[in-house]
Structure 1
Amino acid sequence: MDKSIVPTEVIMNKILFIRGQKVMIDRDLAELYGVTTKRLNEQVKRNVNRFPEHFMFQLNEVEKEYVVANCDHLKKLKFSSTSPYVFTEHGTMMLASVLNSEKAVETSIRIIEVFVKMREYFTDNLNLKLEIESIKKKLTNHDKNIELVFNYLDELMDKQDNKVERSRIGYKK
């Protein structure tokens, strides 16, 4: 299978973070799958039982305004009377089965691969942040321990300076 069907960057630029989920808008998916948005939404409505809310949901007005304001390629949504549907990673895979075209299947696989890469990236990034935090805690503890050692040394020096001169005992010449 030719992986250059849709470049990774193109797919990544179309993935948005809405309601705490990574999603893609119906218009972008239709473009990637080579169908019209109307056709894509028709197929979804015909198979609505395949798309539970964690696969697909419709944007509310606030979310729609946010998308229009932040995504240059979606400016035309501003004039649309209906809010777009967005699809999660699982929803994009289900779309390939309801659209039932070779391009949809290939593109869907490519989209899933990008979602997986993004998840791995975020996981690796999270692990790196956790390691850095662990190192910071260790350094903070080391700083406290070093400060404690210097305090003890200062106390010992003060005690030695404040000692009364004692007469020496032992063998005298």
Structure 2
Amino acid sequence: MQIIRSIESRIYTIRDERVMLDFDLASLYEVETKVLNQAVKRNSTRFPDDFMFQLTAAEFENIKSQVDAINQGASSPIVIKSHPNLKSQFVTSSWGGTRKLPYAFTEQGVAMLSGVLKSEKAINMNIAIMRAFVDVRKILLKQNNINEQLTEIKERIGEHDIQLNELYDAMENLIDEKIAQLKWNDRQRIGFKIKE
């Protein structure tokens, strides 16, 4: 479970896709980022644009700021430069000072990596990563279900408000009719008065 939680913290949403970055995957597979990317390039036909894409500078900066914000409130910070073999792609800054922008792999792209990286570690890690993606999907589905329930409750409350307003209006009309009736009965009579 610990490894899945660690993996979930490395799943980002970019371009409305849940993705993992090349250096995080390399760290999990215990290979250099350069080795992972070379394996992908040798098998480029397996990685169409909806499986893998290179981040823009703005997207990478956005991810770094998100992680920095999370780390400010976290007891155990997320460390992007988490594996000693990442030296080939990263230089000195806390975020690695990448020479090249990282690649992002969608869930399908990560699954495709299992056919490219065939070590025992890569296979086991791929299974864990797929489980993490499934867990994230379940969480999002639950969140959507809660949002739908809240929307339904709001609609019901709105309907109840309308019904209560109609009830208040009817009660006011009844009260107005009663007051009018009392005024009619208490009025001073005109015309002939008969003494009894």
TM surpasses 0.5: yes
Whether contact under 8 Å (1:65, 1:78) holds in the other structure is no
Shift of 1:77: 5.0
Q: Give the match for residue 68 of structure 1.
A: 64
Q: Secondary structure at the match of 1:83?
A: coil
Inter-CA distance 159–117: structure 2 relative to 1 (3 Å threshold): same
> Considering only CA atoms, is the larger Rg found in Structure 1 or Structure 2?
2
Q: Deviation digits for residues 30-82 of structure 1, max 9, x if unmatched? A: 01011111110110000000000111000112112223333353365552221
Deviating 4+ runs (over 4 angstroms): 75-78
Shift of 1:136: 1.3
Q: Secondary structure at the match of 1:68?
A: helix
Q: Give the match for residue 87 of structure 2.
A: none
Inter-CA distance 81–118: structure 2 relative to 1 (3 Å threshold): same
Higher relative contact order (CA 8 A, sep 6+): 2
Shift of 1:122: 0.7
Q: Secondary structure at the match of 1:23?
A: strand
1:104 partnered with 2:100: no
C-alpha distance in 2 between matches for 1:154 and 1:71? 58
Indicate the RMSD between aligned Cα atoms, in angstroms.
1.8
Q: Secondary structure at the match of 1:92?
A: helix
Inter-CA distance 139–68: structure 2 relative to 1 (3 Å threshold): closer
Identify which of 109, 116, 120 aligns with 2:138. Answer: 120
C-alpha distance in 1 between matches for 2:19 and 2:173? 62
Whether contact under 8 Å (1:15, 1:22) holds in the other structure is yes
Q: Secondary structure at the match of 2:185?
A: coil
C-alpha distance in 1 between matches for 2:31 and 2:96? 21
Which 10-residue stretch deviates more, 33-42 or 61-70? 61-70
1:9 partnered with 2:5: yes
Q: Give the match for residue 185 of structure 2.
A: 165
Q: Give the match for residue 42 of structure 1.
A: 38
Aligned-pair identity in percent equals: 36
Q: How many residues are matched?
A: 162
C-alpha distance in 2 between matches for 1:37 and 1:139? 54
Structure 1 stretches lacking a partner, 5+ long:
167-173
TM (norm. structure 1) is 0.86
